[in-house]
């Protein structure tokens, strides 16, 4: 999908721009908690040069927590899936964020848009971690991310509000009974280059915020709302011991 291709390109640029530092590299732990009133199935996808995390998908019932250790210099993305079930044939699927494997594990597959994404590239030794929460591929769940420890500009990132009630009708994804369960990006919904930051709109100078991205940005100022929303949406932290990743913070 256009939105996903665009996000892959932007994530690759972010990963490639991380400087290298000398020194002993350290692993980082992602500590997950689910404060939603419903079950969330987390998904993880490693970057092209990173090994998979110990789990690529797992269940988080309401009020539960879990953790995963990431190797030094790991890069990738983490997201949540909702409204998941297993059919009579044993195939697992989710209404939002589904990775299409038919299993709880995503096994190298990404989440289908719309999905709220936590993206991160871990530094090496004295290097900085670069991280963000992105709505470029749309929104499905509130996510908050907070470094624990570390030095530098170790700010919280995320989209902490439920945007389904603010989603324009033309972007809405509806579940059983007609309730809005996710909100598409304008790029995915319309495929228009001005919303996808592609073609004639493929540079920071020609692609700016739109009326649709402004809806996301107004509700979630600490999250990416469109492809070139770097200045207010990418954060850095050097040497944190862990990251708290909270669904419905």
- In the predicted structure, residue 190 carries a pLDDT above the cut 80: yes
Dihedral, 13, 18, 20, 26 alpha carbons, nearest 10: -120
pLDDT value for 21: 34
Q: Lowest mean pLDDT of 10-19, 32-41, 93-102, 160-169, name the range.
A: 10-19
Radius of gyration, alpha carbons of the chain: 17
Model confidence at 126, pLDDT cuts 50, 70, 90, reads low
Instruction: Output DSSP code: residue 171.
Output: G
- For residues 100 and 177, the model is more confident at 100
- In the predicted structure, residue 70 carries a pLDDT above the cut 70: yes
- Is the domain defined by 2-21+36-247 classed in CATH 2.60.110.10? yes
Mean per-residue pLDDT, 58-72: 96
pLDDT value for 114: 97
pLDDT value for 124: 62
Average pLDDT, the chain: 89
Residue where the block lists tokens 């902490």: 160
pLDDT value for 127: 83
Structure tokens at 222: 């600490």
Burial class of 87 by CB neighbour count within 10 A (0 to 12, 13 to 18, 19+): exposed
Q: Lowest mean pLDDT of 121-125, 196-200, 215-219, name the range.
A: 121-125
pLDDT value for 26: 66
181 vs 12: CA distance, rounded Å? 29
Mean per-residue pLDDT, 189-211: 96
0.85 exceeded by pTM: yes
Tell me the residue ranges of DSSP E strands in 8-91: 28-34, 40-46, 57-60, 65-70, 75-86
Instruction: Output DSSP code: residue 228.
Output: T
For 243, residues 6+ apart whose C-beta sits below 8 A from its C-beta are 28, 29, 30, 31, 120, 131, 145, 146, 147, 148
Model confidence at 14, pLDDT cuts 50, 70, 90, reads very low
Instruction: Output DSSP code: residue 153.
Output: S
- In the predicted structure, residue 24 carries a pLDDT above the cut 90: no
Model confidence at 220, pLDDT cuts 50, 70, 90, reads very high
pLDDT value for 15: 36
**Of 37, 31, 30, nearest to 248 (Cα)?**
37
Peptide bond before 204: cis, by omega within 30 degrees of 0?
no
**Of 106, 137, 122, nearest to 42 (Cα)?**
106
Q: Where are the domains of the chain?
A: 2-21+36-247
- In the predicted structure, residue 244 carries a pLDDT above the cut 90: yes
For 63, residues 6+ apart whose C-beta sits below 8 A from its C-beta are 34, 35
For 9, residues 6+ apart whose C-beta sits below 8 A from its C-beta are none
Model confidence at 49, pLDDT cuts 50, 70, 90, reads confident
């Amino acid at each position: 999908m256009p939105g996903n291709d665009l996000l892959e390109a932007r994530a690759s640029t972010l990963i490639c721009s991380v400087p290298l530092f000398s020194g002993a590299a350290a692993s980082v732990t992602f500590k997950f908690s689910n404060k939603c009133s419903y079950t969330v199935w987390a998904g993880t996808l490693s970057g092209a040069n990173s090994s998979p995390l110990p789990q690529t998908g797992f269940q988080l019932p309401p009020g539960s927590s879990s953790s995963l250790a990431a190797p030094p210099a790991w890069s990738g993305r983490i997201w949540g899936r909702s409204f998941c079930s297993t059919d009579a044939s044993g195939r697992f699927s989710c209404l939002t964020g589904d990775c299409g494997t038919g299993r709880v594990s995503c096994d190298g597959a990404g989440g289908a848009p719309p999905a709220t994404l936590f993206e991160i590239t871990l530094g090496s030794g004295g290097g900085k971690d670069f991280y963000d929460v992105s709505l470029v591929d749309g929104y499905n769940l509130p996510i908050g991310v907070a470094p624990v420890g570390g030095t530098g500009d170790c700010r919280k990132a995320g989209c902490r509000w439920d945007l389904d009630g603010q989603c324009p009708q033309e972007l809405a994804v509806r579940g059983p009974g007609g309730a809005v369960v996710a909100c598409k990006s304008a790029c995915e919904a319309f495929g228009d280059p001005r919303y996808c930051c592609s073609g004639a709109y493929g540079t920071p100078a020609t692609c700016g915020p739109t009326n649709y991205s402004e809806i996301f940005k107004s509700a979630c100022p600490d999250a990416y709302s469109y492809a070139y929303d770097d200045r207010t949406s990418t954060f850095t932290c050097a040497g944190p011991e862990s990251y708290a990743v909270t669904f419905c913070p």
